Structure 1
Amino acid sequence: MKTNKLIIATICLLAGNIIFSQKLMTRKGEVKFEASMAAFEEIAGTNNTASCILDESTADFAALVLIKAFKFKSPLMEEHFNENYMESSKFPKASFKGKIAGFDVKKLSVTKSTYDLEGDITIHGVTKKIKTKLNLSQNGDKIIATSVIFVKPQDYKIEIPNLVKDKIAENVKISMSFTLEAN
């Protein structure tokens, strides 16, 4: 009789954790990159189909970007980006998986709060540890998450030909914006 009560209590406890563990997500996040140099043609792309998940109970934060979904002003630039630099048929996605330090969903408000975000970013098949800042704010039942990171193409084995090396920024700026909501 005692074992039945213990089993029922354990099941209720586990079910409670699953029910109250809130995961927020989007498949319409925006990721932009800027690799332009002054006095040269703009090198920038935008992806409006990035996915992101935030687990409120564990502070786990993950994002996924399909490389071919980046759009450019010039179709030729988009082609070069996919074929020559990012090799998107070989490395079709970039991802981030990490944790938000000190995250407490109960403390979020309309006012932006800044948190440390640490984890692993994978670009062009290369994974590196990064630490950056993540801005979070609440808008009704949604959480707005924004961040900016800088990466060096050579750190991710992205080869830039000598002919155009001076036209591409050494540090590429990547801006991310996600509106997360319960799924």
Structure 2
Amino acid sequence: MKRITVLFVALLIGSTVFSQKMITRSGEIKFDATVPGAMDEVIGTNKTVSAIFDKSTTELVILGLVKSFKFKSALMEEHFNENYMESDKLPKATFKGKILNYDAKAGSYDVEGDLTIHGITNKVKTKITTVNDSGKMVLSGVFNIKLSDYKLDVPSLAKKTLSENAKISLKLALENK
């Protein structure tokens, strides 16, 4: 019985020590489609983003629920969910890709993959920064997208406040699984 217990503990410790996957369920994404110089900001923040990064394969997967974006204005949040993102029909936004040339050191890396918003998937590539902080790896970066690439149309009445381009910023504090 002692051998089984020792073996179980050794396997448990070994899998934890050699685990290559890092996760978060409290990542942050900011969606900013503010027209430069406009009085109203079109900025939504989602602080319940899930992500997993596999250091051995450098695969990165990010998932955000669209309804979890919060805006300063309740009306803007309603328009975002109902008129643009159709979050009841298309509830998720995802990124599935790889960090290129990752070497486990803090620094700047290229990341590329498939970004899915509003049910439309496009290939994207951008830079991310990694920082090691108290046993966590913090990933941060920005995706610049054209809303029309994701079949998100800006009505002429909204063009003074809603840009046809959006900046999607992310900050993910990942921990060993």
Between the aligned residues of both structures, percent identity stands at 51
How far, CA to CA, are the matches of 1:90 and 1:50 in structure 2? 19
Q: Which structure 1 residue ranges, 5 or more long, are not aligned?
A: 1-14
- Number of residue equivalences: 162
Instruction: Provide the C-alpha distance between the structure 1 equivalents of 2:161 and 2:149, rounded to a whole number of angstroms.
Output: 18
Deviation at 1:161, TM superposition (A): 1.4
Q: Is the 8 A contact 2:19 2:176 kept in 1?
A: no
Quote the residue 1:5 is aligned against: none
Match of 1:124 among 93, 118, 126: 118
Following the alignment from structure 2 to structure 1, what is the Cα–Cα distance between the partners of residues 89 and 39?
Answer: 29
**1:168 corresponding residue in structure 2:** 162
Alignment partner, residue 29 of structure 2:
31
RMSD: 1.5
Q: Distance in 1 between matches of 2:38 and 2:82?
A: 25
Look up the equivalent residue of 1:43 and give its one-letter code. Answer: V
Q: Give the ranges of 4+ consecutive aligned residues of structure 1 lying more than 6 Å apart after TM superposition.
A: none
The residue that corresponds to 1:178 in the other structure is 172
Deviation, 1:166, is: 3.3
Contact 1:23 1:182 in 2 (8 A): yes
Q: Determine the C-alpha separation between the residues in 1 that align with 2:116 and 2:32.
A: 18
Corresponding residue of 2:8: none
Partner Cα separation in structure 2 for residue 72 and residue 35 of structure 1: 12
Name the aligned partner's letter for residue 85 of structure 1.
Y
1:120–1:130 CA contact under 8 A, matched in 2? yes
Normalized per residue, which structure has more strand?
Answer: 2
Gaps of 5+ in 2: 1-10
Find the structure with the greater CA-based Rg: 1
Is residue 95 from structure 1 mapped to residue 94 from structure 2 by the alignment? yes
TM-score by length of 2: 0.87
Q: TM-score, normalised by structure 1?
A: 0.84
Contact 1:21 1:57 in 2 (8 A): no
